[in-house]
Chains A and B, each alone.
Chain A
Amino acid sequence: MIQMIMLSTMNALNNIIGSGRRLLLIGLAGLGATGFSSGVSAEYADVVLNRLSDKNDVRPVIFPHWFHRIRFRCKVCHNELAFEMRAGANEITMGKIIDGQYCGLCHNNEVAWGVDNCSLCHSGKPGLKTGIRGSNQTGGPGRW
């Protein structure tokens, strides 16, 4: 329903505005529509990690950016700790975490609580796809 209103508004706007901006508006309408149609209202920038979880019968992992950015700047994870800035791009496994890589660089009972708290990280609904979520305005970068 919302997509319908949105798309028809965009069409009307396209007609008013003319060809120059049409591509841009179609792009925007597309992003808006994917944002609405997912039916997910997760917090903006939550990341679902499910490359392996479903396959191994554990709940997918939900990584909350909002929670971590209150405590750490982006550069801590994306530079110092070398997390690639692309959902699904880091080959995180439980073994590596226990060895002190990725989430295990902090979730080691020193910087933050340790790996024994399985269900704090494995907290997602089964079947979720890996990716960044939660915007009610745009579907997030479409490229990935």
Chain B
Amino acid sequence: MKFKPRHLVFMIIVWSALQAQGSGWKSLSEDGLHDPANPAIELLQQPAEALSQLPPDTVGNRVLWNRALREQYIQPRTNIYPETKIEIIDMDIIMEKTGEMPLVLFPHRPHTEWLDCTNCHDKIFIEKVDANPVNMFAILSGQYCGQCHGAVAFPLTECNRCHSVPRSTFAGKPGVQSRTN
């Protein structure tokens, strides 16, 4: 039997149900990492205090970090040394080797807001469309997109945030997308 969209929908439902169990931010003394016997724990900020002020998400830190940045809820510094060059580019790439899943849209803009080119090129991705044998198994084991997604950026359970372009409606060519706006 073939993998059909409704199977994916079912998977997502199962996942959301499991995720709902862990909602809310744990206090530091209950997070399983911080030692409650450390008197200085009182001085550390509780995640709920800071993160509840930011645009909410359902997974990861439960923060939509890109929105928080775009709408200036947060203004993280881009550099410490004045001479450091800051480079941000606006280039979308459509990746098509997705089996029957919707195509992947990789947006450079939000990534380069946070990251430097050298964080990805050429350590994680060779700087050329289709030059990287990316597949889901490698991603799930912490390579390519999975080096950050599932570790620091939103988790890999959010299939549709990467697989965001339905095959049926995409009429253009994969690879670098030219902008009309």
* Chain A residues within CB distance 8 Å of chain B: 2, 5-6, 9, 13, 16-18, 20-21, 23-24, 27-28, 31-32, 38-46, 48, 59, 62, 64-67, 69-76, 78-81, 85, 105-106, 111, 117, 119-120, 122-126, 128, 132-138, 140-144
Contacts and interface: CB of A to CB of B under 8 A. Distances in A.
| Interface SS of B by simple majority | loop
A38 B50 CA distance: 25
| Interface SS of A by simple majority | mixed
A122 B40 CA distance: 9
Contacts of B30: 41
A75 B76 CA distance: 10
B7 A126 contact: no
A75 B151 CA distance: 16
Interface string B82-107: 00101000000000000100000000
Interface of B: 1-3, 7, 10-11, 14-15, 18-19, 21-22, 25-26, 30-35, 38-41, 43-45, 47, 50-51, 59-61, 63, 65, 74, 76-81, 84, 86, 99, 113-116, 118-119, 136-137, 140-143, 146-148, 150-152, 155-157
Given A16-B1, A40-B32, A140-B142, A75 B115 contact: yes
Given A73-B78, A80-B84, A136-B22, A65 B152 contact: yes
Given A17-B1, A135-B150, A66 B47 contact: yes
Contacts of B51: 66
A2 B18 contact: yes
B77 A13 contact: no
Contact of A135 (B21, B47, B60, B116): B60
B143 A70 contact: no
A20 B33 contact: no
B76 A72 contact: yes
Contact of A125 (B33, B45, B136, B137): B33
